[in-house]
Structure 1
Amino acid sequence: MEDEIKKRNIIQKSEADVPVIEIKNLHKSFGTNEVLKGVNLTVNKGENLVILGKSGSGKSITIKCIVGLMRIDEGEINVFGTDITKLHIAELNGIRVRIGFLFQNAALYDSMSVRDNLGFTLKRHAKDLSAEEVESQIKEILDSVGLSEAIDKMPSELSGGMRKRIGLARTLILKPEIILYDEPTTGLDTITSREISELIIEIQKKYKTTSIIITHDMPCAKLTGNRLMVLKEGVMHAEGTYEELEKSEDEWVRSFFL
């Protein structure tokens, strides 16, 4: 296991030197509460970047800003080399379709079956597909997350882990180049959390995705992250591999690993 994790921390230089996301001096306040106070980060092509931080530190806000779900107060957010903060909505939507976002609760439509949840998403963005092509892509993506048998189930019939997988399938069906994971293992038992973490790795390898993973789950961070960053008091306080940060001389950073 340790050898596998070490191997995952070695990104091919041809991929790692190509930034897909670059955030510069990001500020975001809510009234008098300044949450982000100059966040800087870069995510390289093919990399899984894990962001750690205490509750309320602004981790989820950071990734919501990346897809334009929140307007920033100051700074730059470059995605695929374009500063999205300067885009009109039509241009922003052109970037968004290349980004998948897995919400904490999977955000499935409760009144739709698994097939309809996936089909609705696909048909919104690929109107020229035939019914047969839609069905084929739904089955392919369900197979990728190991839930082919759930195609006719309703969300209420799914366990928490299954809902996460279907939420991920709905994200994957548009074949995004970037995936933003917001607490992908929250509320899951230890075994299911590990299964979701392993699925994140499989997706990175199979689809060549670039990802940011927000998590409090340190086993998930250890397994999935090529690199970790720690958010403290509105700025990125530390970064490195899991092993480097675990041995940090900074007592606050080490507290995450206890």
Structure 2
Amino acid sequence: MENTKNLPVGYDQPATGTSLIEFKNVYKSYGSNKVLNGISFTVKRGENLVILGKSGSGKSVAVKCLVGLTKVDKGEIFISGKDITKLNEEELNRIRMKIGFLFQNGALYDSMTVRENLIFTLQHNHKNLTAHEMESAVKEALQNVGLEEAIDQLPAELSGGMRKRIGLARALIIKPEIIIYDEPTGGLDTITAREIIELIRNIKLKYNTSSIIITHDLTCAKYTGDRIIVLKDGIIKAEGSYKEIENNADDWVKSFFEK
């Protein structure tokens, strides 16, 4: 899926901001299945962190723990200095309002137009907006993903790539501090995947968002990540820039780059 000759590789610049997200020695098991085995990492303000791993490596469970959908067995997870493992549901919901999600399938409501999908999300997070304010926010979000013309269409009328971009507009409409991308290029053709990669990069630059990008797509990792961690069986096997990961001496990490 390369075809990215005009994009610089990753950012390869060390993040200088303070930590917005921090995992400290986090464990999570389901019965005898040990999914996370004491992982620790940070995401700095304005940083794109890629979590790279094969199916079953613990990527998605780490994110579920981050937003409080799954309780950790042991360890601490901080967002903006607050340990979310110790918050009640009301406090968690206030934290979640800072987080935008791009789900793998877009996760749009089929019976709603694009405008209605975005307004639904906006109203959930901001109760007191006027109709004019909501319409302006919808149009701005769609402009950010280049799909203003799709405002009155239903999801069924859109291509897979367009649905993904509308999903991204829905994530952006709440002006999040953090965006979580779940397999953002999954199931897309080469050209559309490149468009999504460019959007991820542009959003970071425009809004200074902090992002976690869950993927097993090396091209996506290469061109979107400031920093990459590689998970295997709930353990961080490698961490660094794309170039550092690519040159890692571990045989299992090397296997990612074998054609």
What TM-score comes out, normalization by structure 1 length?
Answer: 0.95
Question: What is the distance in 1 between the residues matched to 2:15 and 2:53?
Answer: 27
Q: Which runs of 4+ in 1 moved over 4 A?
A: none
Aligned counterpart, 2:30: 30
- Give how far 1:29 is off: 1.1
**1:1-258 aligned within 5 A:** 4-5=8-9, 8-11=11-14, 13=16, 15=17, 18-258=18-258
* Alpha-carbon offset, residue 4 of structure 1: 2.7
- The CA deviation at 1:12 is 5.4
Q: 1:133 to 1:76 in 2, by over 3 A?
A: same
* Aligned residues of 2:7 and 2:223 also touching (Cα < 8 A): no
SS in structure 1 at match of 2:63: helix
CA contact (8 A) 2:56 2:233 kept: no
Structure 1: state its 5+ residue gaps.
Answer: none
Query: How far apart are the structure 1 equivalents of 2:192 and 2:13?
Result: 26
SS in 2 for 1:4: coil
Q: Following the alignment from structure 1 to structure 2, what is the Cα–Cα distance between the partners of residues 216 and 233?
A: 14
C-alpha root-mean-square deviation of aligned residues, in Å? Answer: 1.3
Query: 1: distance between equivalents of 2:41 and 2:249?
Result: 22
Per the alignment, in what secondary structure is the counterpart of residue 24 of structure 1?
strand
SS of 1:166's partner is: helix
Deviates more, 1:74-83 or 1:247-256: 247-256
The code of the aligned residue for 2:90 comes to: A
User: Hey, what's the Cα distance between the residues in 1 that align with 2:211 and 2:139?
Assistant: 24
> Per residue, is there more helix in 1 or in 2?
1
Letter in 2 for 1:5: V
The answer as to whether partners of 1:40 and 1:235 remain within 8 angstroms in 2 is no
Which amino acid letter does the alignment assign opposite residue 194 of structure 1? R
Maintained 8 Å contact 1:110/1:154:
yes
Report the Cα distance in structure 2 between the residues aligned to 1:212 and 1:246, rounded to whole angstroms.
Answer: 20
Matched residue count: 254
Deviation at 1:2, TM superposition (A): 8.2
Amino acid across the alignment from 1:171: A
SS where residue 5 of structure 1 aligns?
Answer: coil
Verify the 8 A CA contact 2:145 2:166 in the aligned structure 1.
Answer: yes
| Contact 1:103 1:184 (8 Å CA) reproduced | yes
Q: Structure 1 residues 3 and 142 mapped into 2: Cα distance closer, same or farther (>3 Å)?
A: closer
Taking structure 2 as the reference length, what is the TM-score of the superposition? 0.95
* Percent of pairs with identical residues: 61
The aligned amino acid for 1:56 is G
Q: Aligned-pair distance for 1:100?
A: 1.0
**Secondary structure class of the residue paired with 1:112:** coil
- Which structure carries more relative contact order (alpha carbon 8 Å, separation 6+)? 2
